[in-house]
Amino acid sequence: MTEQELADRIRPHIAVDDSGQDDDTIILMNTGGNLAKHRLSSPSLHRQIGKGRMRTPDGTRIPGWDPVQLAFQNALTEKTGMCVLEHDYHRSGHPDLAALARSARGA
């Protein structure tokens, strides 16, 4: 399975927070088969994914952080129309830097 195909399987389980609270979440299953909602910024989640201990709700193993990041980028763009860098600048209150990121991606 390609990274994009894996990201496409992960994408439906990501919720992008547009409240400005940076509370983006993902629903994943651990090795015990328990589903839980996790904050994407959680260091514990990053470690568990890095160790290959997390799966999508349909049981697809997540081999590392890259497909999760790609799925998040796709979800963020779909919901906000902004790339990750542009959205980070927007969230932190830097409209000039957000405009620069938008310009750099050709929008």
pLDDT digits (tens, 9 = 90+) for 61-92: 999 999 999 999 999 889 888 777 777 777 77
The answer to the question of residue 88 being in a domain is no
Q: Confidence band (pLDDT; 50, 70, 90) for 57?
A: very high
Residue-number span of the structural domain to which 18 is assigned: 3-81
Q: Does the global pTM surpass 0.85?
A: no
- Look at residue 74 and tell me if it is in a domain: yes
* pLDDT value at residue 38: 95
Does some domain include residue 103? no
95 found inside a domain: no
Per the structure block, which two tokens stand in for 48?
């568990």
Residue 101: inside a domain, yes or no?
no
Is residue 98 very low, low, confident or very high in pLDDT (cuts 50, 70, 90)? low
Number of domains in the chain: 1
* Residue 25 covered by a domain: yes
Query: For residue 73, how many other CB atoms are within 10 A of its CB?
Result: 17
Distance of alpha carbon 98 from alpha carbon 87, whole angstroms:
7
Residue 50 within any structural domain of the chain: yes
67 in any annotated domain: yes
Report the C-alpha gap between 69 and 36 in whole angstroms.
Answer: 18
